DNA sequence: ATAGGGTTAG
């Protein structure tokens, strides 16, 4: 009986049936018996995949009682368990208790760090360990590549993969899956094709899992010809196979094709799941077919799976783009009736929807009722108020946002900017905000900077605009400098205008516009001699160019 | 029999 139960436990473990493993272990505890290390490994793995922290700690103490705490296999599964269930400290404790950690333990640590987004620690461990003359195995490489991929360092993931290949390691199926998914994020189709060839050589291209990954890559890159080739050659398909293709078409706006596949999939005997429906919805909403999206949602209500947050976000976006307050309100009521708690992201979308459908009042009611807010919530309220020409209120929200400990981000900033671009005069507090946050941590692109310089200049805030151009990455932006010079001419600021002119000229003495603007500025101010001097500089520069040719 | 690790919707 004891033997049979152990056998059963191990068999369940082999097929990943974690609940049954735990049940068998429960039955074992009736016998007076000390489990061996293999039973412990199986049970700890089961706890890991079930995510039950308390039970895992209990097993840990039994491991210690039975004297298995330094068994590398038991220890590594414990490390894995603690890292996965959030107990970083406990994972380290197990690690520290091992006198001579071997490769299995090291790999578990690398994978654990990766899981927690601590790429740096994972990489440090990997490199440190190589310096001490340890040879990584394929699992170590898999973990390092995955560590990069999990933290969105996809280029690094590819770099480690290439390094691994150069050092002569043979990639496994999982290696391919991880690297292919990094290629997908990068839309790196050519790297992907190279991997595809290797898969064909190894006979792995007909594996469903890898086939799905390949289809996903090609479809995301818009290469439907290749995606279909892989699809057609797959001897076995599943729901994910269809979803990968459908979501690719949705992403690229081929909504009709996505719908056709949706029907084909059912004809072939596959049931569309939540992912399928959401992929279809997203495609319609992102490509401006709000009406169709709402019809789709209705169909989903009738025959599809229970909608979730993604569904809600899509439907709300459809209502916003139709600017239909009536539809939006109806849907809000529907959500209140169908779920107990509405996700914060959905509430933020509700605020946005109400503002876009013309009801600042309803947007406020949603906001007031929120038990918790995030930066997106605040940005939505700020945008809502600006949209309804409540600039002072918008600034009040901005202040409250900071009081609650949220720093204005790029979105906040652009929101303030676009609101003030339409105004004839800028409120001094807005200007103060813009300037304060230029010095702060908001990272804007060069184009955004340029447009701010242009905005500030056009309203006569020439000094503030000039200060922005002192940023290192703005030094070479001739367009931005010329824009400030143009505004200096408009507002008659000779001093700053001349600084702009000198800067532009030092970068490109063939930039004709700057000579014209500067001499016009001098002329406006009655400084004829200076105007004349600029014109001779211009003909000199043009002369130099001619003699050069 | 003993590590670790993969795909689809926002």
pLDDT digits (tens, 9 = 90+) for A268-284: 999 999 999 999 999 99
Residue A381 vs residue A436, higher pLDDT: A381
Helix axes A375-387, A391-403, angle to 10 degrees: 170
Nucleotide nearest to A40 (CA to C1'): B2
Find out whether A220 and A180 touch, Cβ atoms under 8 Å.
Answer: no
Residue A54 vs residue A549, higher pLDDT: A54
A549: DSSP letter: -
Whether A548 has a pLDDT exceeding 70, the answer reads no
CB atoms within 10 A of CB A289: 17
Whether A438 has a pLDDT exceeding 70, the answer reads no
Residue with CA nearest C1' of nucleotide B10: A310
Quick: pLDDT tens for A87-143.
778 888 888 888 777 888 888 888 888 888 888 988 988 888 877 777 888 999 999
Q: Which two tokens stand for residue A81?
A: 């368990």
Residue A446 vs residue A173, higher pLDDT: A173
Nucleotide nearest to A219 (CA to C1'): B8
Quick: pLDDT tens for A446-475.
887 888 888 889 888 899 889 889 888 888
Q: How far, in Å, is the CA of A88 from the C1' of nucleotide B7?
A: 28
Taking residues A322-332, report their average pLDDT: 95
Give residue A425's pLDDT band: very low, low, confident or very high (50, 70, 90): low
| Beta-carbon contacts of residue A305 (< 8 Å; ≥ 6 apart) | A273, A274, A277
- Residues A260 and A389: their CA atoms lie apart, in Å, by 45
Find out whether A180 and A192 touch, Cβ atoms under 8 Å.
Answer: yes
Out of A28-37, A140-149, A316-325, A512-521, pick the least confident: A28-37
- Residues A178 and A499: their CA atoms lie apart, in Å, by 53
Q: How far, in Å, is the CA of A419 from the C1' of nucleotide B8?
A: 39
Nucleotides of B under 7 A from a protein CB: 1-10
Whether A403 has a pLDDT exceeding 60, the answer reads yes
| Residue A67 confidence (pLDDT) | 86
| Residue A546 confidence (pLDDT) | 58
| Residue A132 confidence (pLDDT) | 75
- Residues A312 and A331: their CA atoms lie apart, in Å, by 9
CB atoms within 10 A of CB A536: 11
Dihedral (Cα; A116, A119, A121, A122), 10-degree rounding: 90
Q: How far, in Å, is the CA of A216 from the C1' of nucleotide B8?
A: 8
The secondary structure of chain A in percent helix, strand, coil, rounded to multiples of 5, reads: 75, 0, 25
| Residue A440 confidence (pLDDT) | 62
Residue A442 vs residue A256, higher pLDDT: A256
According to CATH, the topology of domain A444-549 is: 1.25.40
3-state secondary structure at position A366 = helix
The three-state DSSP-derived secondary structure of A446-473 is HHHHHHHHHHHHHCCCHHHHHHHCCCHH
Quick: pLDDT tens for A381-396.
999 999 998 988 998 9
Whether A435 has a pLDDT exceeding 70, the answer reads no
Nucleotide nearest to A212 (CA to C1'): B7
Whether A439 has a pLDDT exceeding 60, the answer reads no
Quick: pLDDT tens for A484-523.
999 999 999 999 999 999 999 998 888 888 999 999 999 9
Nucleotide nearest to A208 (CA to C1'): B7
- Residues A368 and A401: their CA atoms lie apart, in Å, by 14
> What are the phi and psi torsion angles at A342 (to 5°)?
-95, 125
Taking residues A422-440, report their average pLDDT: 68
Q: Which two tokens stand for residue A382?
A: 């700020």
Find out whether A211 and A177 touch, Cβ atoms under 8 Å.
Answer: no
- Residues A512 and A518: their CA atoms lie apart, in Å, by 10
3-state secondary structure at position A231 = helix
Q: How far, in Å, is the CA of A249 from the C1' of nucleotide B3?
A: 39
Quick: pLDDT tens for A342-370.
999 999 999 999 999 999 999 999 999 99
Q: How far, in Å, is the CA of A194 from the C1' of nucleotide B8?
A: 22
- Residues A319 and A251: their CA atoms lie apart, in Å, by 20
Give residue A174's pLDDT band: very low, low, confident or very high (50, 70, 90): very high
Taking residues A26-33, report their average pLDDT: 82
| Beta-carbon contacts of residue A414 (< 8 Å; ≥ 6 apart) | A444, A448
Out of A398-402, A416-420, A474-478, A545-549, pick the least confident: A545-549
Q: Where are the domains of chain A?
A: 444-549
Q: How far, in Å, is the CA of A182 from the C1' of nucleotide B2?
A: 31
Taking residues A253-266, report their average pLDDT: 96
Quick: pLDDT tens for A175-186.
999 999 999 999
Mean pLDDT of chain A: 89
Q: Which residues of A325-334 are buried (b: 16+ CB within 10 A; e: fewer)?
A: bebbbebbee
Find out whether A261 and A283 touch, Cβ atoms under 8 Å.
Answer: no
Helix residue ranges, H only, A151-252: 154-166, 173-186, 189-202, 208-220, 224-233, 239-251
Find out whether A91 and A82 touch, Cβ atoms under 8 Å.
Answer: yes
| Beta-carbon contacts of residue A322 (< 8 Å; ≥ 6 apart) | A290, A291
| Residue A451 confidence (pLDDT) | 83
Nucleotide nearest to A45 (CA to C1'): B3
| Beta-carbon contacts of residue A126 (< 8 Å; ≥ 6 apart) | A110, A136, A140, A143, A144
Instruction: Report the alpha-carbon angle A89-A90-A93, nearest 5.
Output: 90
Distances (CA, A) of A520 to A386, A416, A428, A481, A485: 38, 33, 30, 16, 11
Find out whether A21 and A40 touch, Cβ atoms under 8 Å.
Answer: no
| Residue A12 confidence (pLDDT) | 87
- Residues A347 and A350: their CA atoms lie apart, in Å, by 5
């Amino acid at each position: 009986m004891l033997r049979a139960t152990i056998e059963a436990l191990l068999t369940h473990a082999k097929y990943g049936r974690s609940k049954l493993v735990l049940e068998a272990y429960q039955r074992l505890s009736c016998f007076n018996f000390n489990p061996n290390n293999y039973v412990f490994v199986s049970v700890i793995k089961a706890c890991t995949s079930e995510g039950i922290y308390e039970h895992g700690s209990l097993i840990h103490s039994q491991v210690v009682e039975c004297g298995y705490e330094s068994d590398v296999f038991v220890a590594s599964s414990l490390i894995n368990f603690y890292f996965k269930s959030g107990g970083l400290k406990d994972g380290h404790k197990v690690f520290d208790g091992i006198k001579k950690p071997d490769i299995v333990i090291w790999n578990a640590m690398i994978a654990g760090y990766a899981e927690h987004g601590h790429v740096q620690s994972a990489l440090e461990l990997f490199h440190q360990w190589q310096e001490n003359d340890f040879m990584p195995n394929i699992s170590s490489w898999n973990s390092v590549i995955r560590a990069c991929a999990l933290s969105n360092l996809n280029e690094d993931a590819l770099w480690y993969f290439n390094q691994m290949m150069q050092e002569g390691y043979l990639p496994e199926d999982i290696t391919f899956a991880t690297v292919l998914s990094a290629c997908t994020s990068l839309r790196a189709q050519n790297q992907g094709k190279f991997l595809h060839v290797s898969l064909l050589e190894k006979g792995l291209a007909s594996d469903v899992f890898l086939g799905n990954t390949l289809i996903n890559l090609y479809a995301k890159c818009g290469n439907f010809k290749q995606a279909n080739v892989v699809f057609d050659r797959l001897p076995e398909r599943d729901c994910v196979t269809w979803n990968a293709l459908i979501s690719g078409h949705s992403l690229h706006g081929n909504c009709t094709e996505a719908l056709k596949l949706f029907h084909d999939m059912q004809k072939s005997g596959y049931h569309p799941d939540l992912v399928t429906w959401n992929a279809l919805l997203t495609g319609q909403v992102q490509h401006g077919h709000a009406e169709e999206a709402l019809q789709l949602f209705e169909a989903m209500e009738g025959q599809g799976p229970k909608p979730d947050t993604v569904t809600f976000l899509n439907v709300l976006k459809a209502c916003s783009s139709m600017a239909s307050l009536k539809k939006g309100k109806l849907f809000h009521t529907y959500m209140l009736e169908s779920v107990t708690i509405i996700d914060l992201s959905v509430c933020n979308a509700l605020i946005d929807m109400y503002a876009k459908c013309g009801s600042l009042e309803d947007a406020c009611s949603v906001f007031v009722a929120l038990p918790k807010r995030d930066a997106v919530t605040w940005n939505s309220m700020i945008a809502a108020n600006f949209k309804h020409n409540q600039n002072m209120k918008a600034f009040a929200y901005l202040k409250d946002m900071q009081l609650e400990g949220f720093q204005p981000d790029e979105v906040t900033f652009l929101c303030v900017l676009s609101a003030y671009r339409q105004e004839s005069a800028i409120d001094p507090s807005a200007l103060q905000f813009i300037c304060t946050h230029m010095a702060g941590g908001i990272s804007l692109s060069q184009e955004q900077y340029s447009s701010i310089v242009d905005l500030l200049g056009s309203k006569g805030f020439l000094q503030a605009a000039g200060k922005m151009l002192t940023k290192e990455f703005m030094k070479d932006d001739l367009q931005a400098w010329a824009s400030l010079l143009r505004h200096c001419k408009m507002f008659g600021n000779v001093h700053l205008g001349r600084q702009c002119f000198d800067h532009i000229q030092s970068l490109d003495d063939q930039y004709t516009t700057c000579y014209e603007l500067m001499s016009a500025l001098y002329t406006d101010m009655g400084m004829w001699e200076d105007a004349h001097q600029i014109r001779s500089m211009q003909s000199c520069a043009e002369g130099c160019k001619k003699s050069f040719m």
